[in-house]
A and B are shown apart, each in its own frame.
Chain A
Amino acid sequence: MSERSLSLLSLARILDVTRQLAAPFDLDTMLAQVVDAAKMVIEAEGGSVWLADQETQELVMRVGSGIATVRVPMGRGIVGECARSRAVINVPDAYADPRFNPEFDKRSGYRTRCLLTLPLIGHDDALVGVLQIVNRRDGVFDGGDEQIAMALAAQCAVALQRVAFTERSVAAERLHKEIAVAREVQMSTLPDVMPAVPGYDMFGSFKPTDETGGDTYDLVQVDDGTVFLLMGDATGHGIGPAISVTQMQAMLRVALRLGASLDDAYMHINNQLVEDLADDRFITAFLGMLDPARHEVRYHAGGQGPLLHFQAASGECVWYGPSLFPLGAMHLPAARVAQVIALAPGDVLGLLSDGVYEYMDPANQEFGEARVAELIRTHHGRPMAELGRLILDALNVHGSGATQADDVTIVLVRRLPGGALDSAAMGDGVQRVEQRFARTFDSLAPIFEFIGRFAEQAGFQPDLKFAVDFTVEELFTNMVKYNAQGKGDIALALESDGTMFTGELVDDDSERWDVTAAPDADVSLSAAERNPGGLGLHLIRRVMDGISYGHDGRQSTITFRRALRTG
């Protein structure tokens, strides 16, 4: 066979191999394919592919003649030398070369005679790895073999790069989709609206750091009127912990729906999580039941702390630690008896995940308990949704652009000082009630009931009661009609200080829309010319002494007042 015909045959083989390499293989198949191609084109006994690991500056062999995975530092041995120099190394007598490591032969029982070692350089000039061809079938590798092998190596390098890139993109894409689905599932388990509990104001917020987080919370009123409070944090974040907390929350809701007591539910769910979670996983969680009639929160805090209790009487924050080890950490042989926190008028229970307390500024200073306590001492009288936002805003300011490192979850429960159920006075004859109502016309009936109770307790004259009903209906139905897409409930606060009645409607999610800027209706027109639009505000101006509008962030507040008339 002449030189020329050999080259043509080799070229045909290389083209054939190249065509095969273009098929979309996974990395392992591609590596085997490269070795097979080398054996076929060069007519060698065997070969191996070493992939460059740039992070560790090593070469890693994933396939080879029955030899387990091996790592070699770049620069060591023939393969390492080839990677460092990026040059072909043709060794006609392996055992005569000091760089040759006979260990592989010893282990495999194979006898290496000669070696042709080539760098695999990708299209971007990056070192992909090293191709080593072993034992030409007859004789040693010559210059012609080197030429052919180099042509093959170039094809192999690009093919390997393409496969590695594809594998990374596919994995990333799959993970991305899975995370998106997991996040959707997790977010769907969070409560859409806060339970409307007379005499209480509640707020919950969850801000994950990844696309999914390991935190969760729940605030839901159970059939007997008690409110289930949950704030949990699974170790780590990402899909695994998100699934763990979602599972725990689902189990809790089922247990409570089935009428299990808090203590029993806690024990069973703890023990179930011991079985379900990996040994190094656990969930810290606060599980509580608020009894709004007795103003007590019974709870278990498994590894969850600090718990914050703002006490209105002293104006100070008291902190409690966890009452038990984290959920899923250890088997509980018997149910524990819950701890109890008594809420006095004006008290706030704050359940904040460690993502709040440990929120770092760029200099790695934590946000800390003191800052949380200060915010609550200062703003405890505001609606809890506003206080929650103030805490979130303060975290943003503290972080000043630093990446949020952990999930941030906030649950706030405030016993209103003048609760609708027990109408405690605020001092100096001031009475105040506040309640949140769903954004629907169906709320009108409970709203009128709420106003009725306050009117009776505050001793309103019938015309004032009528005027308050009328004003609240006009403003509330406007909020429902013109901001139907707004999130959350609408808060209604009523206050009387003995000489002045003040009402306040607060929409937490609204564009600026100043109802008080609307012109008065022309009441002198005939029936045919009249329509009822624009009339509401005209009438409010006549039944109330004053109305004002404020807008801050997304929050719209309409305040209306009227002097109390005696007699």
Chain B
Amino acid sequence: MFEIAMGEAGVIIFSGRLDAAQCAKAQAFLDAIADPKVFDFTKLEYISSAGLGVLLKTQKRIMASGARLKLVNVNNHIFDIFRYSGFDQIFDIQR
């Protein structure tokens, strides 16, 4: 089960498991937001490389304005994936 929702102060809340079957849902939600800034991963249990692709696409979209996505409350397993993939260099990650 994967959910994505707008929380307080423009923070976007991810929860559940972002796998390849859920990417379309996440991408559609993010594409509809003009200026995404902070993603809260407190309740995100799992992400696959397809999920990383969704985040990368969103980052590329907002890069023109020099912005950088901030990912907060990232659990250890997910942080490992970011670290192994070098994505910890791309996003501003807070564990």
A: residues with CB less than 8 A from B are 441-442, 444-445, 448, 462-463, 466, 469-470, 473-474, 477, 521, 523-528, 530-532, 535-536, 538-539, 542-543
Contact = CB atoms under 8 A, between A and B. Distances in A.
B46 A527 contact: no
13 contacts: A441-B21, A442-B21, A444-B21, A474-B49, A477-B48, A523-B86, A526-B89, A526-B90, A527-B56, A527-B90, A532-B50, A542-B84, A543-B84
B5 interface: no
B48 A470 contact: yes
Nearest to B24: A441
A470 B45 CA distance: 12
B20 A477 contact: yes
A539 B85 contact: yes
Given A445-B21, A473-B20, A539-B81, A528 B86 contact: no
Contacts of B53: 531-532
A218 to B, nearest CB: 30
Nearest to A521: B85
A526 B19 CA distance: 24
B36 to A, nearest CB: 14
A444 B52 contact: no
A538 B46 contact: no
Chain A CB within 10 Å — which of B19, B49, B52, B81 has the most?
A: B49
Given A442-B21, A466-B46, A532-B49, A539 B84 contact: yes
A524 B86 contact: yes
A517 to B, nearest CB: 18
A462 B84 contact: no
Contact of A535 (B52, B89, B90): B52
Chain B CB within 10 Å — which of A462, A525, A526, A535 has the most?
A: A535
Contacts of B77: 462-463, 466
Nearest to A470: B48
B20 A527 contact: no
B33 interface: no
Contacts of A524: 86, 89
B6 interface: no
Given A527-B63, A532-B56, A444 B90 contact: no
A487 B40 CA distance: 41
Interface of B: 17, 19-21, 46, 48-50, 52-53, 56, 59-60, 63, 76-77, 80-81, 84-87, 89-90
A351 B54 CA distance: 49
A345 B77 CA distance: 36
Given A444-B20, A527-B90, A535-B49, 9 more contacts: A441-B20, A469-B46, A469-B48, A473-B19, A525-B86, A526-B90, A527-B60, A530-B56, A538-B84
Contacts of B90: 526-527, 530
A532 B52 contact: yes
Contact of A538 (B48, B85, B89): B85
A445 B50 CA distance: 15
A535 B85 contact: yes
A521 B53 CA distance: 14
B19 A448 contact: yes
A7 to B, nearest CB: 91
A114 B79 CA distance: 112
A77 to B, nearest CB: 85
Nearest to A465: B77
Contacts of B20: 441, 444, 473, 477
Chain B CB within 10 Å — which of A442, A462, A523 has the most?
A: A523
Given A532-B52, A532-B53, A536-B49, A448 B17 contact: yes
Contacts of A474: 48-49
Contacts of B56: 527, 530-532
Contact of A543 (B52, B63, B80): B80
Contacts of B85: 521, 523, 535, 538-539
A470 B81 contact: yes
A528 B81 contact: no
Contacts of B21: 441-442, 444-445
A528 B62 CA distance: 11
B35 to A, nearest CB: 17
A489 to B, nearest CB: 17
A286 B4 CA distance: 51
Nearest to B69: A527
A499 B80 CA distance: 23
A441 B49 CA distance: 14
Contacts of A539: 49, 81, 84-85
Contacts of A463: 76-77, 80
Given A466-B77, A530-B90, A543-B84, A477 B60 contact: no
Given A444-B21, A469-B46, A523-B85, A528 B52 contact: no
Contacts of A445: 21
A477 B81 contact: no
B19 A444 contact: yes
A166 B59 CA distance: 73
A521 B89 CA distance: 14
A477 B22 CA distance: 12
A404 to B, nearest CB: 43
B72 to A, nearest CB: 18
Nearest to A477: B20
A524 B80 CA distance: 16
B95 to A, nearest CB: 15
Contacts of B49: 474, 532, 535-536, 539
Nearest to B46: A469
A527 B17 contact: no
Contacts of A526: 89-90
A536 B84 CA distance: 11
A451 to B, nearest CB: 11
B44 to A, nearest CB: 12
B59 A473 contact: no
A452 B76 CA distance: 19
B77 to A, nearest CB: 4
